[in-house]
Amino acid sequence: MTQHTHTELLETLHECMTACNHCFDACLGEEDVKMMSACIRLDRECADMCNYLENAITRNSPFVAELAAACAKICEACGNECKKHEHEHCQRCAEACLKCAEACKKVA
């Protein structure tokens, strides 16, 4: 793994965590919260895993590949759920998640 790729991955993970947490926060403030329940749940999963992986990468963890494999699955699931909703925060979250899923797959 080159340092360059990790720099990019760290940025992608950070954007994904930020988008997921913003979406989590915004979904809880929507009129129809019930419709967003899967989104809220997956936003938490995805933000937390991206956050965890960022920490692991910067400490030079020997398990980046294993963690990235799990993270890719979570990002993909979150991106696919968010994609279904028209809210701007969901659309932006979907984009960040699907980009992050691809980046994670490359190191997995």
For the residues of the chain, what is the DSSP string, one character each?
--HHHHHHHHHHHHHHHHHHHHHHHHHTTSS-TGGGHHHHHHHHHHHHHHHHHHHHHHTT-TTHHHHHHHHHHHHHHHHHHHTT--SHHHHHHHHHHHHHHHHHHHH-
75 binds a second copy (CB under 8 A): no
Which is nearer to a second copy, 52 or 99 (by Cβ)?
52
3 binds a second copy (CB under 8 A): no
The stretch near a second copy (CB under 8 A) out of 37-45, 87-95, 98-106 is 37-45
Which is nearer to a second copy, 62 or 86 (by Cβ)?
62
The stretch near a second copy (CB under 8 A) out of 16-24, 86-94, 97-105 is 16-24
